[in-house]
Chains A and B, each alone.
Chain A
Amino acid sequence: MDPWRILQLEATDDTRAIKRAYARLLKTTRPDESPEAFQALHAAYKAALKDAETATGAEPGGGRTSPEPRFESEAHERAVTEPVPPERVDPPPPSRDLDHARLADSEFERLLARCRELLDAGAARDAGAERVTAWQFLAESPWMLDSAFQHRLGDSLLQLFLERQDSAPPDEPLLHYLNQLFDWQGDRGALSGRLGRERLDLLLAPLDSTPSDDSDLIRGLRGGEKVVREVRREETGETPSAEPEEPYFTVMGLRLTAMILDWILIGSLVAMPAWIVVVINSSINDTDQNTFQWVLSIFLGLVIPIYLVMAVVMEGGGRWQATPGKRMLGLKVTDRNFQPLSFGHNLWRVVCFVLIHSFAAHFVVVINIFLRGNLVHDRISRSYLINQARSEREYKERQGR
Chain B
Amino acid sequence: MAIIGIDLGTTNSACGVWKPQGVELIPNRLGEVLTPSVVGLDDSGEIIVGRTARQRLIHHSDKTVAAFKRLMGTGHRVGLGTQLFTATELSSLVLRSLKEDAEAHLGEPVEEAVISVPAYFNDNQRQATKQAAELAGLTVRRLINEPTAAAMAYGLHQNQEGLFLILDLGGGTFDVSLLEFFEGVMEVHASAGDNFLGGEDFVEAMINDVLASRDIPRDSLPASVLQNLYLQMEGAKRKLGTPQTLTLDLNGQSFTHEVTPEWFARIATPLLLRAKHPIERTLRDADLHPGKVDEVVLVGGSTRLASFRSMVGKMFGRLPSCHLDPDTVVALGATIQAGLLARGEGLDDVVLTDVCPYTLGTGIINEDNPSLGDYFLPIIERNSVVPISVERRLSTASDGQTRITVKVYQGENRLVEKNVQLGEMEVQVPKGARGQESVTVRYSYDMNGLLEVDVTVTSTGKTYHKLIEHSPGGLSEEEKAHSRERLASLKFHPRDGEENRALLARADRLFESNLGERRERIADLMGDFEQVLDRQNPLDIARAQKTFREALDFLESESWF
A residues near B (Cβ < 8 Å) are 19-20, 22-24, 26-27, 30-32, 35-36, 38-39, 42, 63-65, 67-69, 71, 74-76, 78-79, 91-94, 129, 133, 136-142, 144-147, 150, 177, 180-181, 183, 185-186, 188-189, 193, 197-198, 201-202, 204-205, 208-209, 211, 214, 216-230, 232-233, 235
Residues of chain A within 8 A of B352, CB atoms compared: 31
Is B227's CB under 8 angstroms from A222's CB? yes
CA separation between A32 and B340, bound complex, in Å? 12
Of the A-B pairs whose beta carbons lie under 8 Å apart in the complex, a sample of 16, sorted by A's number, is A20-B183, A38-B353, A39-B388, A71-B560, A139-B266, A145-B272, A186-B509, A217-B70, A217-B74, A221-B71, A223-B227, A227-B71, A227-B79, A229-B476, A229-B477, A230-B77
A-B contact count (CB 8 A): 250
User: Which one of A32, A69, A177 lies within 8 Å of B270 (CB-CB)?
Assistant: A177
Which residues in A have their C-beta under 8 angstroms from that of B307?
Answer: 142, 145
Q: Which of A38, A193, A227 contacts B77 (CB 8 A)?
A: A227
Query: Which chain B positions have C-beta within 8 A of A183?
Result: 273, 276-277
Q: Assess the B472–A67 pair: CB atoms within 8 A.
A: no
What sequence of 0s and 1s flags, for each residue 223-257 of chain B, a beta carbon within 8 Å of any chain A beta carbon?
10001001000000000000000000000000000
Q: Cβ of A214 and Cβ of B480 under 8 Å apart?
A: yes
**Interface membership of B159, Cβ < 8 A:** no
Residues of A within 8 A of B484 (CB): 211
How far is A68 from B478 in the complex, measured between Cα atoms in Å?
45
* Per-position 1/0 for B316-332, Cβ under 8 A of A: 11000000000000000
Of chain A, the residue at the smallest CB distance from B38 is A223
Closest 7 pairs (CB-CB, A-B): A75-B560, A23-B183, A230-B75, A189-B556, A225-B79, A224-B65, A139-B269
Q: Specify which chain B residues have a CB less than 8 angstroms from the CB of A136 in the assembled complex.
A: 266
Stretch at the interface among B289-297, B358-366, B528-536: B289-297
Q: A94 contacts B313, CB within 8 Å?
A: yes
CA distance A162 to B446 in the complex (A): 50
A221–B265 contact, CB under 8 A? Answer: no
B473 to chain A, nearest CB (A): 6
* A69: contacting residue among B65, B201, B267, B287, CB under 8 A: B287
Measured between C-beta atoms, what is the minimum distance from A158 to chain B in Å? 16
Query: Which residues of A sit under 8 angstroms from B211, Cβ to Cβ?
Result: none
- Max count, chain B CB within 10 A of own CB: residue among A180, A220, A232: A220
CA of A211 to CA of B558, assembled, Å: 28
Could you tell me if A91 and B277 are in contact, using CB atoms closer than 8 angstroms?
no
User: Binary interface profile of B, 144-187, with partner A (CB < 8 Å = 1, else 0)?
Assistant: 00000000000000000011000000001000000010111101
Q: Check if A235 sits within 8 Å of B172, measured CB to CB.
A: no
Kindly identify which residue among B80, B185, B505 contacts A225, using a CB–CB cutoff of 8 Å: B80
CB distance from A262 to the nearest CB of B (A): 34
CB distance from B191 to the nearest CB of A (A): 15
Would you call B389 and A36 a contact (CB within 8 A)?
yes
Which B residues have a C-beta under 8 Å from some C-beta of A? 38, 40, 57, 61-68, 70-71, 74-81, 84, 86, 162-163, 172, 180, 182-185, 187, 189, 196, 198, 200-201, 204, 212, 223, 227, 230, 261-263, 265-270, 272-274, 276-277, 286-290, 292, 294, 307, 310-311, 313-317, 349, 351-353, 385-389, 444, 446-447, 471-473, 476-478, 480, 484, 487, 498-499, 501-503, 505-506, 509, 549, 553, 556-561
Contact B265–A142 (Cβ < 8 Å): yes
* Beta-carbon contact of A217 and B277 below 8 Å: no
Give complex CA distance A13, B198 in Å.
43
CB–CB A91/B385 < 8 A: no
CA distance A79 to B560 in the complex (A): 6
Give chain B residues whose Cβ lies under 8 Å from the Cβ of A74. Answer: 289, 560
**Which A residue sits closest to B263, measured CB to CB?**
A140
Does the CB pair B70–A19 fall under 8 Å?
no
**Chain B residue nearest to A93 in the complex (CB):** B314
Could you say which of B77, B230, B270 contacts A139, with CB atoms under 8 Å apart? B270
Contacts of B316 in A (CB 8 A): 91
Give the distance in Å from the alpha carbon of A89 to the alpha carbon of B161 in the complex. Answer: 29
Q: Within the complex, what minimum Cβ distance (angstroms) separates B483 from chain A? A: 8
Query: Is the beta-carbon distance between B447 and A201 smaller than 8 angstroms?
Result: no
Contact of B75 among A20, A133, A177, A229 (CB under 8 A): A229
